[in-house]
Amino acid sequence: MIKIPKITMKRTVSNWPEYKHIKLPYNIFVGKNVLEKVSYITKEHENKLVVTGARTSKIAGSKVARILKCDKTISKGTPLDEAERIAREVKKEEIELLVGVGGGSILDITKLAAFKANVDYISVPTNCANDGMASHVVSIKNGGKTALRANPPIGVIADTNIIRKSPYQFTSSGFGDAIAKFSAVKDWKLGHVVKGEYFGDYASSLATMIAKITLKSSLEISRRTEKGVNILLEALISSGAAMGIAGSSRPASGSEHKFSHALDMIAERPAMHGHQCGVGTIVMTYLHGEDWEGIKNALEIARCPVTAKQLRIDRDTVIDAMIKAKEIRPERYTILEHLKIDRPTAINALETTGII
For the chain, the helix, strand and coil percentages under 3-state DSSP, each to the nearest 5:
55, 10, 35
Are 109 and 247 in a shared domain? no
Is residue 75 within 8 Å of residue 106, measured between CB atoms? yes
pLDDT digits (tens, 9 = 90+) for 226-245: 999 999 999 999 999 999 99
Q: What is the spatial distance between Cα 133 and Cα 158, in angstroms, rounded to a whole number?
A: 9
Closest CA to 18 of 145, 141, 230, 198: 198
- Which residue, of 119, 141, 166, is where some domain finishes? 166
pLDDT digits (tens, 9 = 90+) for 107-152: 999 999 999 999 999 999 999 999 999 998 888 766 556 678 889 9
Q: What is the spatial distance between Cα 191 and Cα 9, in angstroms, rounded to a whole number?
A: 11
User: What is the separation, in whole angstroms, between the first and last Cα of the chain?
Assistant: 16
pLDDT digits (tens, 9 = 90+) for 8-30: 555 554 566 666 678 888 999 99
pLDDT at 140: 75
Domain membership of residue 129 as a residue range: 27-166
Band of residue 344 on the pLDDT scale cut at 50, 70, 90: very high
pLDDT digits (tens, 9 = 90+) for 167-184: 999 999 999 999 999 999
What is the CATH classification number for the domain harbouring 130? 3.40.50.1970
Residue 9 lies in a domain: no
Q: How many CB atoms lie within 10 A of CB 342?
A: 11
Q: Compute CA 227 distance to the chain's CA centroid, rounded to the nearest angstrom.
A: 21
Are 247 and 127 in a shared domain? no
Are 288 and 159 in a shared domain? no
Q: What is the spatial distance between Cα 217 and Cα 238, in angstroms, rounded to a whole number?
A: 16
Are 162 and 173 in a shared domain? no
Residue 11 lies in a domain: no
Are 157 and 179 in a shared domain? no
Is residue 297 within 8 Å of residue 197, measured between CB atoms? no
How many domains are there within the chain? 2
Angstrom CA distances, 155 to 91, 103, 271, stand at 21, 16, 29
